[in-house]
Structure 1
Amino acid sequence: MAAKILLMSDIHITEPGNQIIGLDPAARFRRCLEHAAEHHADAAHLFIMGDLAHHGRVSQYEILKQCLADQPFPVTLMLGNHDKRGAFAEVFPECAAGFRHGRHSFGETDVLFLDTLDEQAHDRHSGRLCHARLDWLQTQLTASKRPLVILSHHHMLRSGFDGMDAIHLRNGTEVADMIAASGRCQMVINGHIHRIIVSSYRGVTHAMIKSPCHQMPMVLGAGASSLSVAEPGGYGVLLLDPLSPLLHHVDVDLPECPVAFDGES
């Protein structure tokens, strides 16, 4: 049986009364957690892939900690461009040592999670892997021949949304080249864009997932990175088959539709 992993990204927690385009991020996040616990209770792990707090405030990370207190999954927290390392470490001191990257093993597959946050970025929201993080990644890529899935907050490749591509992982092509050259990686999955997108690079699938809160409108080309639309929130369900991993996406709180059997099919 393939291990089941849950993926959520870009939850953008705010304080009560501080909404994003009329949405309450904490309520939307809790709803996704409830949905996952009800429908995917057999999941082995939950990765929350950055942009944990909308403004990177201690008060927002405290709300996140409250949200996570009564959910059933082991959790790994990643950092995104809206996060602040100092405030995060105040609330989650157990996560404060060094960069927020690492490896978890599930059956025959390894999952690497990257730390792409660059708090010194000139444009504030783009990401970068510094030399130390690149060296860490190279060591991980060559440490084994086991199948590998990599999680990143920032996207490495072009998305088609010009505003978001201006704040991607600045050395993303270099990182994608390293990953492809290893011959191990089955899939790279990121958040950041708040949209389901799939591409490939040198034989490696690159997939992006939606946010539990607000989404990027489907307006390709020119446009600001802050464009948002109140489409349903959602999360990813990753099945770690060592030969062919599968990434599903769940939209939460769609209109109720009964499941029916079509006897004429």
Structure 2
Amino acid sequence: MKLIQLSDIHLTTPGTTIGGRDPRRNFERALTHLLRDHHDAELMVITGDLSDWGDREDYVWLKQRLGEFPIPTRLCIGNHDRRDVFLSVFPECADGGFVQGVHDTSAARCLLLDTVEPNSHAGRYCAARQDWLTRQLDEHPGPFLLFMHHNPVPTHLGPMDQIRLLDDAAFRKIVGAHRDRIRHIFFGHCHLPLSGSAAGVPTSSLRGTNHASFPLFSETAMLSASDLPESYGVAFIGDDYVTVHMVEFGYDGPIRVEGSPDYHAWDRETMVR
């Protein structure tokens, strides 16, 4: 099975830029780019920060655009989103008052989680949401794939960890109790390529479709930004493996299909030039 992850698309009023980049244009570029090689994906998930300011017009435009898109798409919300405004446009994404839900694929049951805390960039996973997740994991044999916005593990970047999932230990306790049936956790929020594990479950994240962060460990007060290329993710889910790529569609340099001129021809088995 193949699935696509987009994150942190940060839609804004048409023509408005963030860091000199146009979020709507870059979102469209991502969709065009991924369809060239990945039109056969079974599912696409966008893991939050759908709108930069939580404006209803952004959600209305997104719903219309995704309605034309050939790959089935599910949504999480992030700290820049407004849950009430989002649900006024996407009421089908509501479950128990939160933006959470279930989507079955050929490889696993996908659980879409809501980690938003209103009026905060940090995430929360309250008792009601913990109960929902526990119930989903208890009532189905799995396997599962989890999708969320906030990072469920520390990044050890001080400013970033101030706005992480603040209930991360409680979240990992639930995950750990079901680790044998949760195959992977996909998240966003950090605008960084990240991999690791949460209570023994592999995790990954990626840069978003617009602006990028940078892991500047010497900076202790402010989040760090960079001009690295925009990206989306492609995951391949096999019976006994998960492979995750970050595709930098914003890169505009050369791509050397057959290698550099120094290795114009070489035997791939013997490594002889």
TM-score by length of 2: 0.89
Q: Give the whole-Å Cα distance in 2 for the aligned partners of 1:136 and 1:242.
A: 27
Which has more radius of gyration? Answer: 2
Residue 202 of structure 2 is matched in structure 1 by 205
The answer to whether the 8 Å contact 2:196/2:204 transfers is yes
CA RMSD of aligned residues (A): 1.8
Q: Give the whole-Å Cα distance in 2 for the aligned partners of 1:221 and 1:126.
A: 21
Q: Give the whole-Å Cα distance in 1 for the aligned partners of 2:211 and 2:58.
A: 17
The answer to whether the 8 Å contact 1:6/1:46 transfers is yes
- Matched residue of 1:141: which SS? helix
1:138-178 per-position Cα deviation (integer Å, ceiling 9, x unaligned) = 01112233222211100111112211100111111111121
Residue 161 of structure 2 is matched in structure 1 by 165
The answer to whether the 8 Å contact 2:93/2:101 transfers is no
- Matched residue of 1:164: which SS? helix
- Matched residue of 1:213: which SS? coil
- Matched residue of 1:17: which SS? coil
Deviation at 1:248, TM superposition (A): 1.4
- 1:85 counterpart = 2:83: yes
Residue 258 of structure 2 is matched in structure 1 by 260
Q: Letter of the aligned partner of 1:87 in structure 2?
A: V
Residue 175 of structure 1 is matched in structure 2 by 171
Q: Give the whole-Å Cα distance in 1 for the aligned partners of 2:243 and 2:175.
A: 19
Deviation at 1:223, TM superposition (A): 3.9
- 1:134 counterpart = 2:130: yes
Q: Which moved more, 1:246-255 or 1:130-139?
A: 246-255
The answer to whether the 8 Å contact 1:193/1:210 transfers is yes
Deviation at 1:233, TM superposition (A): 0.8
Residue 59 of structure 2 is matched in structure 1 by 61
User: How many residue pairs are counted as aligned between the two chains?
Assistant: 260
1:186-243 per-position Cα deviation (integer Å, ceiling 9, x unaligned) = 2211100000111124321121121011111131253455432221111111112232
Q: Give the whole-Å Cα distance in 2 for the aligned partners of 1:67 and 1:259.
A: 33
Instruction: Report 1 or 2 for greater relative contact order, CA contacts < 8 Å, sequence distance ≥ 6.
Output: 1
The answer to whether the 8 Å contact 2:76/2:147 transfers is no
- Matched residue of 1:193: which SS? coil
Residue 111 of structure 2 is matched in structure 1 by 112
Q: Give the whole-Å Cα distance in 2 for the aligned partners of 1:114 and 1:196.
A: 20
Q: Letter of the aligned partner of 2:115 in structure 1?
A: T
- Matched residue of 2:36: which SS? helix
Q: Give the whole-Å Cα distance in 2 for the aligned partners of 1:90 and 1:58.
A: 8
Q: Give the whole-Å Cα distance in 2 for the aligned partners of 1:19 and 1:233.
A: 14
Q: Give the whole-Å Cα distance in 2 for the aligned partners of 1:104 and 1:86.
A: 22
Deviation at 1:251, TM superposition (A): 0.8
Deviation at 1:60, TM superposition (A): 2.2
Residue 262 of structure 2 is matched in structure 1 by none
Residue 17 of structure 1 is matched in structure 2 by 15
Q: Give the whole-Å Cα distance in 2 for the aligned partners of 1:160 and 1:46.
A: 29
Q: Give the whole-Å Cα distance in 2 for the aligned partners of 1:225 and 1:170.
A: 18
Give identity over the alignment, percent.
33
- Matched residue of 1:260: which SS? coil
Distance 1:39 1:227, change over 3 A: same
- Matched residue of 2:98: which SS? coil
Q: Extract unaligned runs of 5+ from structure 1.
A: none
Q: Letter of the aligned partner of 2:238 in structure 1?
A: D
- Matched residue of 2:203: which SS? strand
Deviation at 1:67, TM superposition (A): 3.5
Q: Letter of the aligned partner of 1:95 in structure 2?
A: C
Q: Which moved more, 1:5-14 or 1:66-75?
A: 66-75
The answer to whether the 8 Å contact 1:160/1:221 transfers is no
Q: Give the whole-Å Cα distance in 1 for the aligned partners of 2:250 and 2:19.
A: 18
Q: Letter of the aligned partner of 1:50 in structure 2?
A: G
